[in-house]
Amino acid sequence: MKQETKRKQENKQTERQTRWYDEDLPSLIEVDLEKSLSHEARKWALDFSNPEHIGEHTWNEFCGLLIQNAGDYRVRCILAIDCFDAKIGLSMYKTTFNAIGVELELGEFTIVAPDRREDQAASEDVKVAEAPGMEVV
């Protein structure tokens, strides 16, 4: 009985999450917290969440996050790449938006996708290497 429970717990830990919630986000270190609360970050967040820009979105390639202005001072994360950088980025966005009174929505709004960025970069390198060159006879 104990072994079965232990196996279930191990499977839960290795299973990929399909949704992320606030409690899944890590605490920020001091440097990230300062960056999130900086004047520039709050100014950007105010502009992005402006009701006039409803529907606009931005892709943060470094973190692997796609966020969208949902109107009524709500921003949704609609796509997150399943990596720790994305969770840190979301935590930073959440801190910034909370500082200006804007809600960052996760959960059922966020699709968590497998991280295939390295696979794509490797396949692009292979394609470049396979491209025919000028042959000299």
pLDDT tens for each residue of 17-40? 788 999 999 999 999 999 999 999
Question: Residue 35 is part of which domain span?
Answer: 17-127
For 48, the 3-state DSSP assignment is helix
pLDDT at 115: 86
Report residue 67 as tokens.
Answer: 């966020």
Number of domains, the chain: 1
Instruction: Please provide residue 135's backbone torsions phi and psi, each rounded to the nearest 5 degrees.
Output: -95, 135
Q: Is residue 24 part of a domain?
A: yes
Q: Is residue 1 part of a domain?
A: no
CA distance 91 to 133: 47
pLDDT at 137: 52
Band (pLDDT 50/70/90 cuts) for residue 41 is: very high
Q: Is residue 6 part of a domain?
A: no
- Contact of 45 with 97, CB cutoff 8 Å: yes
Q: What is the mean predicted confidence (pLDDT) over 97-124?
A: 83
Q: What is the mean predicted confidence (pLDDT) over 107-132?
A: 68
> Which residues, 6+ apart, have CB-to-CB distance to 35 below 8 Å?
41, 92
pLDDT exceeds 60 at position 6:
no
Report residue 30 as tokens.
Answer: 């001091």
Q: Is residue 112 part of a domain?
A: yes
The strand ranges marked E within the chain are 57-60, 65-71, 74-81, 103-105, 111-113
